[in-house]
């Protein structure tokens, strides 16, 4: 038996994770953790919400709330969603937990005492109006590479290049828009180059790094490592513990990565075993595996090991960094702002977690980028999950229910053919195990699907539904063999589709959970005479239409042209306008929309337009909406305006067009 620390990259929780994050780290880690547990290994699976840093601080400042209010909410939501996705964390924690904060501060003080931390004065943008330094995305400006005007101080969203605040043209404070001044600020740095030789040795000797991680790391060493900044002038974060560093926090990247350790410590503290963590981090026989996307490689193969080395505590270095390539979505990068992708909360509104888990593992980008398309998703669910696996299980159980009184039949002697089949199943199962052992989850899943294919082929060739009429003993044997395959599938699929695998297990008549059973029981006999449960289909097919409803709400806001035609937009002329008493925002307008038709409109434009100046103006009106009572007045139409931040501008026509003209 071995000991494993399974870790998935900590999701940054300014928003929900999307499917790319799931397959890149969390879901892959879960499959491996579940597999190893079933093999009887000692496993600890940890992760947590990464909640400090500028993106969240900026959002909170803009909303006028404390950052922790934002992260409290998101952390609770994400934690619940991971449960619904069947992610079997032993500890899913957060960087605001006290154990983590204390650990980080003590850890860096130790590095400071050991001479791995030095200070340097740096010139940074400072907002005289907000009276604060502007780290990372607190400053915005024009990208020097691509000219994008909203580039952030740390990165350009348009061209993806990493930036320094000083590289931005026309920089401005993200919060108030003021032009920053440049000020000196003292900062603390981690002396990474000091560890270059040790790191090179570690990477060259580590046979478990995937090729992309090894190559990228060696290239970085080749180019020469640079000191990494450890502190920020942020308020939201873990206070920097160094003497003279009051008011500064630890840079979020350098802090969250230590969460793997603190989450282990916290797990054992909660269990009342304060020294329990040591075997996972100090005993060199522990194998630690980190599931990350490839953009995270340097932090896990260079910076994290370097921090562990510098501490002098003899921490176990990462045994494997499992860095998948990217999953794109219909050929594009997942993007929150552009609404490209599916997020983990939306996904579950349409289909249970197992559908997504199965499809994502089957398209896991193990050796090259892979592309999520709805076509592939539909065919994976329909022809593999439903037709190949679901139907085989259902057919078998139905026959047992109908012809053998819902009891696992006692087989006659197995034929040559039966033996060959069970041998084939055994081979595929062992191949799948070997592939899981080498973290090839997608290939392992393919082998497991092959098992179901063998089962279907066997049923088709033996036709037990005919056999029962002619040779009931032979039919019993055939169904017994088929049930053995159902059992093998239930165990083999347990790490991948934990909910459905458990359902299969219960349908076989077991009353405990498949997850409490051992991996190699998949190849064992069945309890003859055991009563099976009433079979019901495990999966359902999905149609284009189901997908349209997902797409409509997530992937894009595209509407059909016919839908636009449903909106009746007309040119209107304002006949009268007055303020609605008690509101500085609402105006009551009467609008002529042609054909002697007048509409009363309540519009929230009172802060931008004086009522007197509106009379006689042409506006664009949405005329076919259901009336709605606003501030006691029935509003029968809407007028269109463009909004930019606080600014508002009414739409109009730029030629003399009569009221009543249709807008197309
Ligand atoms: Zn400012
Ligand atoms: Zn750019």
**Average pLDDT of the segment spanning 367-373:** 91
Q: Beta strands 249-250 and 231-232: pairing type?
A: antiparallel
pLDDT, one tens digit per residue, over 299-335 is 999 999 999 999 999 999 999 999 988 899 988 888 7
Number of structural domains, the chain? 4
Share above pLDDT 90 across residues of the chain, in percent, rounded to a whole number: 74
Helices (H), 327-390: 344-350, 353-362, 374-379
Of 499, 523, 547, the position where a domain reaches its end is: 523
Of 523, 550, 574, the position where a domain reaches its end is: 523
Are residue 487 and residue 402 in the same domain, yes or no? Answer: yes
Residue 69 C-alpha to ligand 1 middle, in angstroms?
22
Query: Are 277 and 267 within 8 A, CB to CB?
Result: yes
Tokens 């054992």 belong to residue: 268
Are residue 179 and residue 195 in the same domain, yes or no? Answer: yes
pLDDT given for residue 78 in this prediction: 97
Q: Which two tokens stand for residue 453?
A: 């294919």
pLDDT given for residue 610 in this prediction: 87
DSSP secondary structure letters along 406-418: TBPPPP-PPPHHH
Measure CA 643 to chain center.
Answer: 32
Which ligand has the shortest distance to the CA of 139? 1
Share above pLDDT 70 across residues of the chain, in percent, rounded to a whole number: 97
Residue 514 resides in a domain: yes
Judged by average pLDDT, the poorest of 205-219, 477-491, 511-525, 527-541 is 205-219
pLDDT given for residue 561 in this prediction: 65
Residue 339 C-alpha to ligand 2 middle, in angstroms?
20
pLDDT given for residue 327 in this prediction: 92
Query: Are 105 and 241 within 8 A, CB to CB?
Result: yes
pLDDT given for residue 553 in this prediction: 56
Are residue 506 and residue 408 in the same domain, yes or no? Answer: yes
Which ligand has the shortest distance to the CA of 168? 2
Rounded Cα–Cα distance for residues 541 and 160 (Å): 39
Task: For residue 498, name the pLDDT band (cuts at 50, 70, 90).
Answer: very high
pLDDT given for residue 557 in this prediction: 47
Are residue 115 and residue 95 in the same domain, yes or no? Answer: no
Are residue 47 and residue 93 in the same domain, yes or no? Answer: yes
Measure CA 597 to chain center.
Answer: 52
Residue 609 C-alpha to ligand 1 middle, in angstroms?
29
Are residue 516 and residue 377 in the same domain, yes or no? Answer: yes
Q: Which two tokens stand for residue 435?
A: 């592939």
Residue 499 resides in a domain: yes
pLDDT higher than threshold 90 for residue 4: yes
Rounded Cα–Cα distance for residues 295 and 460 (Å): 47
Report the candidate in 442, 613, 517 with the shortest Cα–Cα distance to residue 37. 517
Are residue 65 and residue 200 in the same domain, yes or no? Answer: no
Residue 313 resides in a domain: yes
Measure CA 464 to chain center.
Answer: 45
3-state secondary structure of 542: coil
Of 523, 541, 576, the position where a domain reaches its end is: 523
Residue 153 C-alpha to ligand 2 middle, in angstroms?
11
pLDDT given for residue 118 in this prediction: 98
> 375 pairs with which residues across the strands?
none
Q: Between these two residues, 158 and 34, which has the higher pLDDT value?
A: 34
Tokens 């994400």 belong to residue: 78
Are residue 482 and residue 615 in the same domain, yes or no? Answer: no
CATH code of the domain containing 408 = 1.10.730.10
The DSSP secondary-structure symbol of 646 reads T
**Average pLDDT of the segment spanning 111-118:** 98
Structural domain including 605 reads: 561-650
Query: Are 336 and 17 within 8 A, CB to CB?
Result: no
Which ligand has the shortest distance to the CA of 62? 1
Residue 358 resides in a domain: no
Which ligand has the shortest distance to the CA of 61? 1
Q: Find the Cα–Cα–Cα–Cα dihedral 262, 264, 269, 272, rounded to 10°.
A: -170
Residue 147 C-alpha to ligand 2 middle, in angstroms?
6
Give the C-alpha distances (Å, rounded to integers) separating 451 from 311, 330, 361, 416, 441. 49, 30, 17, 18, 16
CATH code of the domain containing 180 = 2.170.220.10
Residue 75 resides in a domain: yes
pLDDT given for residue 562 in this prediction: 66
pLDDT higher than threshold 70 for residue 250: yes
Residue 237 resides in a domain: no
Which ligand has the shortest distance to the CA of 144? 2
The pTM of the full predicted model, rounded to 2 decimals, is: 0.82
Query: Are 11 and 78 within 8 A, CB to CB?
Result: yes
Task: For residue 560, name the pLDDT band (cuts at 50, 70, 90).
Answer: low
Are residue 120 and residue 70 in the same domain, yes or no? Answer: no
Rounded Cα–Cα distance for residues 342 and 551 (Å): 9
Residue 132 C-alpha to ligand 1 middle, in angstroms?
7
CATH code of the domain containing 621 = 2.40.50.140
Residue 608 C-alpha to ligand 1 middle, in angstroms?
25
Helix (H) or strand (E) holding 294: none
Are residue 567 and residue 488 in the same domain, yes or no? Answer: no
Query: Are 518 and 38 within 8 A, CB to CB?
Result: yes
Report the candidate in 565, 627, 570 with the shortest Cα–Cα distance to residue 602. 627
pLDDT, one tens digit per residue, over 518-538 is 999 999 999 999 999 999 999
Rounded Cα–Cα distance for residues 592 and 588 (Å): 13
Which ligand has the shortest distance to the CA of 141? 2
CATH code of the domain containing 39 = 3.40.50.620
Q: Beta strands 598-603 and 587-592: pairing type?
A: antiparallel
Rounded Cα–Cα distance for residues 161 and 142 (Å): 12
pLDDT higher than threshold 70 for residue 558: no
The C-alpha angle 352, 358, 359, rounded to 5 degrees, equals 95
Residue 540 resides in a domain: no
Residue 374 C-alpha to ligand 2 middle, in angstroms?
30
Around ion ligand 1, which residues have CB less than 5 A away?
127, 129-130, 173, 175-176, 178
**Average pLDDT of the segment spanning 580-593:** 87
Give the C-alpha distances (Å, rounded to integers) separating 64 from 56, 58, 400, 438, 602. 12, 10, 63, 48, 29
Which ligand has the shortest distance to the CA of 178? 1
Which ligand has the shortest distance to the CA of 157? 2
Judged by average pLDDT, the poorest of 356-365, 539-548, 642-651 is 642-651
pLDDT, one tens digit per residue, over 485-494 is 999 999 999 9
Are residue 62 and residue 141 in the same domain, yes or no? Answer: no
pLDDT given for residue 645 in this prediction: 60
Chain mean pLDDT for the chain: 93
Residue 537 resides in a domain: no
Residue 176 C-alpha to ligand 1 middle, in angstroms?
4
Are residue 182 and residue 219 in the same domain, yes or no? Answer: yes
pLDDT, one tens digit per residue, over 633-659 is 888 899 998 876 667 889 999 888 889
pLDDT higher than threshold 90 for residue 73: yes
**Average pLDDT of the segment spanning 68-93:** 97
3-state secondary structure of 654: coil
Task: For residue 551, name the pLDDT band (cuts at 50, 70, 90).
Answer: low
**Average pLDDT of the segment spanning 273-280:** 98
Judged by average pLDDT, the poorest of 125-129, 166-170, 208-212, 453-457 is 208-212
pLDDT, one tens digit per residue, over 378-411 is 999 999 999 999 999 999 999 999 999 999 999 9
| Cβ atoms within 10 Å, residue 383 | 11
Task: For residue 556, name the pLDDT band (cuts at 50, 70, 90).
Answer: very low
pLDDT, one tens digit per residue, over 31-41 is 999 999 999 99
Q: Beta strands 287-293 and 320-324: pairing type?
A: parallel
Residue 406 C-alpha to ligand 1 middle, in angstroms?
72
φ, ψ for residue 583 (rounded to 5)?
-135, 135
């Amino acid at each position: 038996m071995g000991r494993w620390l399974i870790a998935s990259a900590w999701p940054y929780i300014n928003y929900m994770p999307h499917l790319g994050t799931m397959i890149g780290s969390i879901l892959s880690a879960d499959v491996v953790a579940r597999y190893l547990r079933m093999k009887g290994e000692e496993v600890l699976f940890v992760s947590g919400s990464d909640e400090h840093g500028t993106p969240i601080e900026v959002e909170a400042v803009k909303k006028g709330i404390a950052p922790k209010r934002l992260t409290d909410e998101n952390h609770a939501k994400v934690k619940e969603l991971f449960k619904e996705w069947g992610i079997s964390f032993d500890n899913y924690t957060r960087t605001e937990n006290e154990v983590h904060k204390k650990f980080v501060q003590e850890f860096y003080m130790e590095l400071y005492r050991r001479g791995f931390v030095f200070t340097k004065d740096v010139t940074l943008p400072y907002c005289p109006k907000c009276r604060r330094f502007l780290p990372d995305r607190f400053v915005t400006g024009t990208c020097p590479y691509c000219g994008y005007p909203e580039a952030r101080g740390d990165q350009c969203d348009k061209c993806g290049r990493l930036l320094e605040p000083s590289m931005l043209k026309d920089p401005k404070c993200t919060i108030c828009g003021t032009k920053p001044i440049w000020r000196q600020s003292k900062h603390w740095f981690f002396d990474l180059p000091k560890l270059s030789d040790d790191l090179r040795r570690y990477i060259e000797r580590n046979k478990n790094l995937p090729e992309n991680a090894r190559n990228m790391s060696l290239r970085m060493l080749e180019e020469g490592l640079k000191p990494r900044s450890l502190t920020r002038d942020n308020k939201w974060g873990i206070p920097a513990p160094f003497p003279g560093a009051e008011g500064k926090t630890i840079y979020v990247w350098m802090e969250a990565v230590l969460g793997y350790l603190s989450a282990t410590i916290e797990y054992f503290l909660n269990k009342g075993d304060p020294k329990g963590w040591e075997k996972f981090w100090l005993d060199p026989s522990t194998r630690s595996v980190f599931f990350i996307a490839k953009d995270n490689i340097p932090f896990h193969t260079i910076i994290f090991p370097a921090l562990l080395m510098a501490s002098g505590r003899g921490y176990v270095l990462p045994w494997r960094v499992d860095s998948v390539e990217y999953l794109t979505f219909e050929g594009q990068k997942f993007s929150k702002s552009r609404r490209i992708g599916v997020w983990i909360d939306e996904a579950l509104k349409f289909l249970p977690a197992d559908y997504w888990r199965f499809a994502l593992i089957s398209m896991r980008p193990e050796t090259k980028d892979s592309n999520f398309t709805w076509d592939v998703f539909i065919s994976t669910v329909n022809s593999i999950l439903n037709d190949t696996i679901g139907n085989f299980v259902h057919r078998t159980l139905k026959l047992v229910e109908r012809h053998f009184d819902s009891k696992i039949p006692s087989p006659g002697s197995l034929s040559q053919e039966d033996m060959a089949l069970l041998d084939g199943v055994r081979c595929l199962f062992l191949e799948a195990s070997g592939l899981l052992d080498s973290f090839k989850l997608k290939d392992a899943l393919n082998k497991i699907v092959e098992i179901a294919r063998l089962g279907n082929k066997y049923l088709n060739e033996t036709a037990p539904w005919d056999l029962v009429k002619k040779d009931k003993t032979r039919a019993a044997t055939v169904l017994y063999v088929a049930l053995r395959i159902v059992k093998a599938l239930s165990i083999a699929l347990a790490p991948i589709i934990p909910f459905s695998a458990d359902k299969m297990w219960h349908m076989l008549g077991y009353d405990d959970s498949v997850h409490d059973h051992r991996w190699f029981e998949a190849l064992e006999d069945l309890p003859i005479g055991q009563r099976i449960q009433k079979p019901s289909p495990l999966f359902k097919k999905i149609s284009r239409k189901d997908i349209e409803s997902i797409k409509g709400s997530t992937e894009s806001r595209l509407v059909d042209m016919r839908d636009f035609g449903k909106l009746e937009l007309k040119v209107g002329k304002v006949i009268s306008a007055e303020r609605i008493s008690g509101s500085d925002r609402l105006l009551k307008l009467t609008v002529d929309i042609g054909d002697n038709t007048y509409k009363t409109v309540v519009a929230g434009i009172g802060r931008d337009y004086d009522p007197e100046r509106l009379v006689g103006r042409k506006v664009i009106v949405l005329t076919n909406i259901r009336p709605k009572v606003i501030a006691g007045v029935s509003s029968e139409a809407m007028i269109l305006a463009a909004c930019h931040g606080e600014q508002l501008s009414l739409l109009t026509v730029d030629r003399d067009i009569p009221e009543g003209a249709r807008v197309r």
